Chains A and B, each alone.
Chain A
């Protein structure tokens, strides 16, 4: 569901490590999922998406995994860099809806 009033969970990693950011989605009818990256003071930027007929999709240094059985989505970032420090949001498109429902976000901090 929507995440308006919640403080963001945080994840701190060392530069060069792999990062995994998790997201539990709410609706079993959701058929499209996206990860966004939001840097401070900026609008969210699209990272990667996946449709429900897939369970894995890879981009440049990022991988999204979808487990429909437990309604879980994850974003893996390989060789995390300081520029990856940001808040990451997952979003789901619930079947039949024109809206994306955003998760609560995770703040990723990359330590040099």
Chain B
């Protein structure tokens, strides 16, 4: 069966520090991968998605970047965090379009 792993679960980082969040999927090949951010009590904002290794589509211009160095690995990064980067970050995967996403358990990021 397929599983998605996302870590860490919580993270407190100072303003100006770098960020690296990792997401891996097991039990499938060539998944579509997604990074979402969710502010407290708000909806889901798509940040990046990838349909293959090295292919990244950015949805919102911002202080973040994403990379997909391996088929089942998706990384969200920042060189210098801002206070506004605080939020709940969710990774998700899908087989392809027309199928639902499976979400990871999320990372609660607080920038102080």
In the bound complex, residues from chain A placing their C-beta under 8 Å from that of B45 are 2, 4
| Number of residues of chain A lying within 8 A (CB) of chain B | 31
> Which residue of chain A has the shortest Cβ distance to B36 in the bound complex?
A102
Instruction: Known contacts A43-B103, A44-B90, A98-B49; decide if A2 and B97 are in contact (CB<8 Å).
Output: no
Query: Range of interface residues on chain B?
Result: 20 to 34
Q: Enumerate A1-18 residues with CB–CB distance to B below 8 Å.
A: 2-8
B51 touches A44 (CB 8 A): no
The answer for the CA separation of A105 and B41 in the assembled complex, in Å, is 9
17 A–B pairs (Cβ distance < 8 Å), ordered by A? A2-B43, A2-B44, A3-B43, A6-B42, A6-B43, A8-B41, A8-B42, A31-B98, A32-B98, A43-B103, A44-B90, A46-B102, A98-B32, A99-B49, A100-B100, A102-B43, A104-B43
Q: Is A26 an interface residue (CB 8 A)?
A: no
Q: Which of B34, B44, B99 interacts with A89 by CB under 8 Å?
A: B44
A43 touches B44 (CB 8 A): no
A22 CB to closest chain B CB (Å) equals: 15
Binary interface encoding of chain B residues 9-45 relative to chain A, with 1 for a CB under 8 A from any of its CBs, else 0: 0000000000000000000000010100001011111
Q: Is B56 an interface residue (CB 8 A)?
A: no
A36 CB to closest chain B CB (Å) equals: 8
In the bound complex, residues from chain B placing their C-beta under 8 Å from that of A60 are none
